[in-house]
Amino acid sequence: WIVVDTPAGGPAFRNRFVKTRLRQTIDGPFLYLDCDLLVRGDLGELFTLDADVAGAANHSRPAVDEQIWRTDARILEAMGWETRQDVYVNGGVMFCNDTPGARRLCSDWHLRWLESSRKLAGHQDQPALNAALQATQPRLVVIPPRFNAQFRYTVGTVSDAVVWHYYSS
């Protein structure tokens, strides 16, 4: 166990504070998994990727305009942030290597998340993650939906999925 001190705040704030600082807290490569998913198979393949970070497209959708939630779009606009044009990553399943690119990304992610949390009084971390991906340009591998089948929005992803992500929130 690694104990992480957090600033005062509600559970959502403290949860995202820790999530956005994991790369600065954990030595070595790691796989982050949200608590609202079910692992149904071997995830070892993710540790063999030649990447700084890896994640799946949000909502398991192929088109970027279908990947960005309205709430996320409002946050991105309010913060004046830009995101990649090819993918909007879901932060629920993320492989993070121990590389300079991953460290730059995660440092920027945490700072952006803190800024948006203070400015907008919300704790969504995905807009900050995707803005940080655009700003820092790490070696990103977009993993197939079977590693993060967000079936609430794309039910067809569950049949061969290794991870079912059911969005408890």
pLDDT digits (tens, 9 = 90+) for 60-101: 999 999 999 999 999 999 999 999 999 999 999 999 999 999
Higher pLDDT, 105 or 159: 105
- Find the mean pLDDT for residues 147-161: 83
**How confident is the model at residue 159, as a pLDDT?**
84
Residue 155 confidence (pLDDT) above 80: no
Residue 133: Cβ-neighbour burial (10 angstroms; 0-12, 13-18, 19+): buried
Kindly state the average pLDDT of the residues 12-16: 95
In whole angstroms, what is the distance from residue 159 CA to residue 3 CA?
37
Measured distance CA(93)–CA(127) in Å, rounded: 15
158 phi, psi to nearest 5 deg: -80, -25
The rounded distance, in Å, linking the Cα atoms of 164 and 41 is 10
Q: 0.85 exceeded by the pTM?
A: yes
118 phi/psi in degrees, rounded to 5 = -70, -45
Enumerate residues 6+ apart whose C-beta is below 8 A from 94.
Answer: 31, 32, 53, 54, 55
Q: What is the mean pLDDT of the chain?
A: 94
Contact predicate 167/34, CB 8 Å: no
Give the Cα separation of 72 and 68 in Å (integer): 6
